[in-house]
């Protein structure tokens, strides 16, 4: 059994990479998988607070790279899930303290003991991005239905292919169904038309995401059901496990034209 290495990236900052990484890691752990999340954003440590593990950091990723501790010592064990770990980023160093080959080496060590390694990439397309992508088996591109985020996602998808890590898979985050319904937000189909990439998940905007990060408890661990972001994250985790999970229809727009189109498409 060998771990799958997933890198979560986006190009643009603030689209929800860290939220996606924390929730996917937690969702997979709740499915009984052995999961380690790695914060690759050296100097801007974030994943620890979103996962609620910030008080237990002793060693970090740079300590491992520079040989101050063993890999196991830098793996913080989550208290709520028996097989969920975090390797935090260093807060006081810069991104050049880690190289792409360091990341490949660390992930190779984790492959035997884990089912998933989830790497939270920093924003941008520089060293930190290349560090995060170097060991990846699969790259998940997070974007929002917004022109600047979609443009950056397109650039990132191109770079992933250039690094021979493609094709990337898309997670469309922060979708507001009501805005899509009245034509004021790009729809899932619009974004897929533009980016021509495989869709892995659609996450609706959900205020509880902020509540969850306030508490340091990823939303999927809250146990809320229904058409929430937590449910959407769980669906992404199930798709990663190879399940064929249908995409929940977020927008209920029943116009004459949409019904006609559905009829003509034989739906």
Q: Tokens representing 161? A: 């292919």
Question: Does 147 participate in binding other proteins (rule CB under 8 A)?
Answer: yes
Q: How far apart (Å, rounded) are the C-alpha atoms in residues 124 and 12?
A: 6
Helix (H) or strand (E) run with residue 7 in it: strand 4-9
CB 113 within 8 A of CB 31: no
Q: How far apart (Å, rounded) are the C-alpha atoms in residues 11 and 146?
A: 13
Q: Which of 37, 140, 150, 229 binds other proteins (CB under 8 A)?
A: 150
Question: Does 66 participate in binding other proteins (rule CB under 8 A)?
Answer: no
Min dist. Cβ of residue 172 to other proteins (A): 13
User: Please, which residue, 2 or 258, has the CB nearer to other proteins?
Assistant: 258
Helix axes 229-240 and 17-30, enclosed angle (nearest 10) = 70
Paired strand residues for 87: 38
Helix (H) or strand (E) run with residue 86 in it: strand 84-87
Binders of other proteins among 182-221, rule CB under 8 A? 182-187, 190, 193-194, 196
Question: Does 180 participate in binding other proteins (rule CB under 8 A)?
Answer: yes
Min dist. Cβ of residue 145 to other proteins (A): 8
Q: Tokens representing 159? A: 């770079």
Question: Does 250 participate in binding other proteins (rule CB under 8 A)?
Answer: no
Contact stretch for other proteins (CB under 8 A) within 76-84, 142-150, 161-169, 254-262: 142-150
Question: Does 154 participate in binding other proteins (rule CB under 8 A)?
Answer: yes
Strands across the sheet containing 4-9:
76-77, 84-87, 35-39, 116-120, 4-9, 138-143, 169-175, 198-204
Helix (H) or strand (E) run with residue 139 in it: strand 138-143
Min dist. Cβ of residue 209 to other proteins (A): 23
Q: Tokens representing 250? A: 């977020």
Contact stretch for other proteins (CB under 8 A) within 121-129, 152-160, 221-229, 241-249: 152-160
Binders of other proteins among 22-41, rule CB under 8 A? none
Question: Does 229 participate in binding other proteins (rule CB under 8 A)?
Answer: no
Q: Which residues in this chain contact other proteins in the complex, by CB under 8 A?
A: 146-147, 150-151, 154-155, 158, 180, 182-187, 190, 193-194, 196
């Amino acid at each position: 059994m060998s771990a799958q290495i997933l890198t979560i990236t986006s190009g643009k900052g603030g689209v929800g990479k860290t939220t996606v990484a924390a929730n996917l890691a937690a969702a997979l752990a709740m499915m009984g998988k052995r999961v380690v999340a790695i914060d690759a954003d050296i100097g801007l440590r974030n994943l620890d607070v979103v996962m609620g593990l910030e008080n237990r950091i002793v060693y970090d990723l740079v300590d491992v790279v520079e040989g101050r501790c063993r890999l196991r010592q830098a793996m913080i064990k989550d208290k709520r899930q028996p097989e969920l770990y975090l390797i935090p980023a260093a807060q006081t160093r810069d991104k050049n303290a880690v190289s792409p080959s360091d990341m490949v080496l660390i992930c190779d060590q984790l492959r035997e003991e884990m089912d998933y390694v989830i790497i939270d990439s920093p924003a941008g397309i520089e060293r930190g991005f290349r560090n995060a992508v170097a060991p990846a088996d699969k790259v998940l591109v997070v974007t929002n239905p917004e022109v600047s985020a979609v443009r950056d996602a397109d650039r990132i998808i191109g770079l992933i292919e250039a690094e021979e890590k493609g094709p990337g898979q898309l997670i469309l985050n922060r979708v507001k169904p009501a805005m899509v319904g009245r034509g004021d937000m790009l729809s899932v189909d619009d974004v897929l038309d533009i980016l021509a990439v495989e869709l892995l998940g659609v996450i609706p905007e959900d205020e509880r995401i902020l509540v969850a990060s306030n508490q340091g408890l990823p939303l999927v661990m809250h146990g809320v059901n229904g058409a929430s972001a937590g449910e959407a994250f769980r669906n992404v985790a199930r798709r990663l496990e190879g399940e064929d999970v249908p995409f929940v229809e977020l927008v209920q727009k029943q116009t004459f034209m949409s019904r006609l189109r559905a009829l003509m498409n034989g739906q």
